[in-house]
Amino acid sequence: MDRSQYLTVSELTSYLKQKFDRDPYLKTVYLTGELSNFRLRQRHQYFSIKDENAVIDAVMFERQFRQVNFRPETGMKILVVGHIGLYEKSGRYQIYVDRMEPDGLGALYLQFEQLKKKLGAEGLFDQIPRPIPQFPKRIAVVTSLDGAVIRDINTTVRRRYPIAQVVLFPTVVQGDKAATDIARQINRANQMGNFDTMIIGRGGGSLEDLWPFNEEIVARAIADSHIPVISSVGHETDTTIADLVADQRAATPTAAAELATPNRLADVLMTIQDDQVRLNSTMKKLIDFDRKQLQKQLQSYIFQQPSRLYENYAQKLDQLTQTLKNDVSNLVRDRLNSVQQLQGRLQINSPQHTIEQAQETVTQLQNRLLSSAKNSQQQRHQKVMSLIQQLDSLSPLKIMGRGYSYVTYRNSVVNTVKELKSGQQVSLHFNDGKATAKIIGTKEN
């Protein structure tokens, strides 16, 4: 068996990968199918595309996925463009997706529905609409410089309420850069801060033409606006995200201008005159009522006998004054008692008192010491006398005075007869002297 004919799995997989990479028909593949096993990840996206009979793995890297302007969901029909490659580690082929868009509903409509769902969940459509001022001084208009929108708005405002000033914030209303420009002009009008009402809009067109008003950046600029916003985008049948977020929606630019202004200046002046008459009448009634109330109050006892106002307070003041005096006297008495007690304690604990007590104690101890020394001396004297008497009674001289004597031989006291021998010369000691004797003989008992 020739082993050189056998390939390793890695060698075979590498060979197949080269085949996939070199095949011109696999470099750009247009694929349609159902999105499967999709779970949104932070960076690269891994999922499957399937139909009734087959399934293929797919990967879309972070840079390409950033260009997707809708939220993919499992089960969605999609259109993808990419190239086919083989992943060597698993040995499975897959499509590397470069572009993705929904199939069926259309990409723009799907984006519209997804953004509408997202902003609705955040509550942007449920905000309480800001009231449109009835008598605006300045109206900001965010629209195209050359379109019919600004002409219709100007004509309507001059006809209905010519004292209002219309200020145009020209913007691009169609194309890729339109949404950013519209949001910038909305924010610019808010930064100026001296407008009562804002109208944004454009004329009719297809969904693609109106799409800048469906962008999230425009919706958030309208929601964050401090100026009440009237939206007039497209025709009456068209509905954009801007219409849903705005405080008011108008079917046409003319209708928007009518919402932003009162009916006619003459009607307004007549309304003001009527309000003035009603205000004067109401003020007269209020003044008459207040005058009657004043007269009624002037007739009250408070103004007739003002002294009665403070009688009770004066009596209460006297009571409080007496109570204060009593409290002060009691407080002073308590403090004096406390001072006296402290003085007594201080006198007891003063150094002079302590010294006197110590001196008295020293005197007592001295007396006790002298008495004890005297008694001890007497006891010792008596004991000495007793010992002298005892010693005297035991003195050999005292015994010899009763007729006793003792014998010495060569100046040594003889205690037993065994120390003596015949012929020895000994000395006999008596109370009044001594004698010499010679031993003739001895005898032991």
What is the predicted pLDDT for the residue at 221?
Answer: 92
Residue 428 to residues 230, 402, 435, Cα–Cα distance (Å)? 166, 15, 5
Tell me the average pLDDT across 153-159: 91
The tens digit of pLDDT for each residue in 88-97 reads 888 888 999 9
Residue 398 to residues 112, 388, 404, 415, 432, Cα–Cα distance (Å)? 153, 13, 9, 19, 12
pTM (two decimals) = 0.44
pLDDT at residue 1 greater than cutoff 60: no
Measure the CA angle with vertex 397, ends 391 and 402; round to 5°.
110
Task: Please give the share of the chain, as a percent, with pLDDT higher than 70.
Answer: 90
Q: Which residue has the higher pLDDT, 349 or 181?
A: 181
pLDDT at residue 229 greater than cutoff 90: yes
- Pick from 1-10, 369-378, 385-394 the range whose average pLDDT is largest: 369-378
The tens digit of pLDDT for each residue in 190-208 reads 999 899 999 998 887 777 7
What is the predicted pLDDT for the residue at 138?
Answer: 94
The tens digit of pLDDT for each residue in 358-377 reads 888 888 888 888 888 888 88
The tens digit of pLDDT for each residue in 58-103 reads 999 999 998 887 788 887 888 899 998 888 888 888 999 998 888 7
Least confident segment among 47-56, 234-243, 357-366: 234-243
What is the predicted pLDDT for the residue at 136?
Answer: 92
Integer distance in angstroms from the first to the last C-alpha of the chain? 146
What is the predicted pLDDT for the residue at 95?
Answer: 92
Instruction: Note the maximum CA span of the chain.
Output: 191
The tens digit of pLDDT for each residue in 239-287 reads 888 889 999 998 888 899 999 998 766 666 677 777 888 888 889 888 8
Nearest to 141 by CA among 178, 180, 174, 182: 182
What is the predicted pLDDT for the residue at 414?
Answer: 83
Q: Which residue has the higher pLDDT, 147 or 374?
A: 374
Task: Please give the share of the chain, as a percent, with pLDDT higher than 90.
Answer: 18
Question: What are the tokens at 176?
Answer: 């890729």
Tell me the average pLDDT across 321-327: 88
Cβ atoms 427, 408 nearer than 8 A: yes
pLDDT at residue 13 greater than cutoff 80: yes
pLDDT at residue 410 greater than cutoff 90: no
| Residue 311 binned pLDDT confidence (cut-offs 50, 70, 90) | low
Which residue pairs from 325-334 have beta carbons closer than 8 angstroms and sit at least 24 positions apart in sequence? none
| Residue 137 binned pLDDT confidence (cut-offs 50, 70, 90) | very high
Report the interhelical angle of 148-160 vs 253-260 (nearest 10°). 30
Neighbours of 232 (CB within 10 A): 28
What is the predicted pLDDT for the residue at 200?
Answer: 94
Residue 258 to residues 170, 344, 406, Cα–Cα distance (Å)? 21, 99, 170
